[in-house]
Each structure stands twice: as C-alpha cells, then as structure tokens.
Structure 1
C-alpha cells in the first residue's frame, strides 16, 4: 500500500493541499477495505448489482487516472478499460490479472493522478470528453471536488461491503472512528427495537 497521506497536517497551507488530502483520505479508506482479502473475497459480488471490493477500488482509481489524465492532456501511460464498449469494464478485473497486480495498477493510477494535481494550479482548465456542453470545461479545482465526492461515495460502499463480508469495520487500521467498548449485539438490538416501536406507532391503535 502506498505511503498514506493521513500524516499531513490537518490544516494545510493551500486550498489545493486541503482538497488533495481529502482525496487521499478516501483512497486510503478504499485500500484499507481490501487489505487481507484473498482473490475470491476481493472479487466476488456482494450486492444484487455485482459490486465487489476490488471492483470499487479499481473503478475509483481508473476514474482518478482519467480525470487527472485525459482531462488535462496528461494521459495515464497504461491502458484503461473501455467503458464505452462495456460500461462495467472497470468494475471487473480479468481473472488472469492477480490481485497483487491489480492493486499495483491501482497504485500507479493514483500516483499519476497525484503528479497531475501537484503539477497544476487549481484554476488550470481541462476538458472532460465524456461530458457534454459547457459543463465539459472544468478546472482542476472542479475535478478535485468531483473525484473527492466519487471516491468517498465508493469508500462508503466499501465500508458496508467489508463489514458484511467478514465484520471488519472502521475508517482505517490506526483509527477506526468507532467508539470503544461498544456492545454491538446490544446496539443492534436497540436499533431494531426502536424501528419496530416507530413502525407500531405509525400504524396506530387497531379497532
């Protein structure tokens, strides 16, 4: 796993540093959610729409490579999945590509994105060829905001998938962001009890 960005000062010197730190936070969270998994659990579908943990990690990295590559005329030097031919191509890593190889590709895609972010000013303009009309013209600032939203959305997906897979929960290994000493069975029972009580109240008394 690449050196995490989490050790950077919480309050950065520039707006770009702040945005970059939040993007790295999502990236680190996504990578944490795949740590320790074997090929099957990393790749297998965990939802009715085929989401897998490796799929989420790979998709988000490919998006980063494109938004901080093609958009600013700094193309990622490796092939990216053809999502025009197959809209879900970036969510499914071919079986001949090992998990280790897939994650190395993810790290290189993110490194390429980092290099673009570090090299350009926030007001640098680019073009998103898969967007239409005036909205296709963006700045690095807009691309960063877009990818922060994208990456954190998928980190949330990964949180739920990993917890359902083997019970692993929390933000990252050194800070779970979960309260200590919780009796999770009691908490789950409480949540369900409140839900049933609220449902009963909404129905009202029966005649």
Structure 2
C-alpha cells in the first residue's frame, strides 16, 4: 500500500502543485512533503489508512492528473516547489516523462513483491514468457549470475 500511496503523492505533487493546481483544498495531510513531515512518510501506510482509502486516493490522484494533462499543453510551464530554485521551471512534457519513469520503476518493485508472495514469475499465469527449464536449471542459472555479480563487484 505504501507504493500506491507514494505513486499517488508523486502524481498529486507533480501534476498538481507544480502547475498551480493543488489537490488538497484544506491543506495537505500530515504525510505530505512539508518541513514538518517525517521523511518518506508517503512510502508506507499507517494503521488507520485502509486499502480502500489509499486506492481511493490514487484514483482521485489519477483523475486530478488527467485533468491537468487535458487542460494544459505539453509545453505549459510549471514550477516544482521542492526542487532547487535554478531547476524548478519545467514543462508538462518533462513532468509526464518523469512521472511515467517513476511509476514504471515502482510497478517493477510491486511485481517483485508479488513474485515473493505467490512464487510465480513472468507475464501471466500459464503464459509466463520464461524459458521452459526445470528447477535445477534455474538454480544453476541464478548461482551463475550471482557468481558473476560477485566477481565484478568483488
């Protein structure tokens, strides 16, 4: 849930605050990026934040993002408040690329977590796009990759 909350906060910040379209009318929640907030507070769900709440937040974030994208042109100028002054000015195009990159990276993180939970790998159940090798082959393959990595970083 922390990844979903984080992706929502990234979209709300970049497609909201950056372009003068803040999402939070009554002020940001305690986990929002402020001088007072705990570092990484958007990266985990608190005990009182239900799955429904966080998924709902993300749905609202993507609606807010879609509205910004539909309203502005790709060359629209925004200012990222949390970046250094000399780099704050950006275009919507720049932010789209940045957010797509951030989201795909976190989708990869979520896929790794899913693989650890359910033990499956690949694209789809029954269509995993993985080489059709047995468990022994995969263990040898993994050992070989780990050995090479250790040699390189050794």
Partner of 2:8: 61
Q: Identify if the C-alpha distance between structure 1 residues 197 and 120 changes in structure 2 by more than 3 Å, giving closer, same or farther.
A: closer
Q: Which runs of 5+ in 2 are unaligned?
A: none
Partner of 1:32: none
TM-score between the two structures when normalised by the length of structure 1: 0.61
Q: Tell me the CA shift for residue 175 of structure 1.
A: 10
Residues 25-40 of structure 1 mapped to structure 2, 5 A cutoff: none
Counterpart check, 1:130 vs 2:82: yes
Counterpart check, 1:147 vs 2:99: yes
Contact 1:70/1:76, CA 8 A, preserved across alignment: yes
Task: Give the match's secondary structure for 1:96.
Answer: coil
Q: Identify if the C-alpha distance between structure 1 residues 187 and 108 changes in structure 2 by more than 3 Å, giving closer, same or farther.
A: farther
Residues 78-117 of structure 1 mapped to structure 2, 5 A cutoff: 79-80=28-29, 81-84=31-34, 85-117=37-69
Partner of 2:132: 182
Task: Give the match's secondary structure for 2:90.
Answer: strand
Cα distance in 2, alignment partners of residues 67 and 198 from structure 1: 40
Counterpart check, 1:77 vs 2:27: no
What is the number of equivalent residue pairs in this alignment? Answer: 146
Q: 1:119 aligns with which of 68, 71, 76?
A: 71
RMSD: 2.8
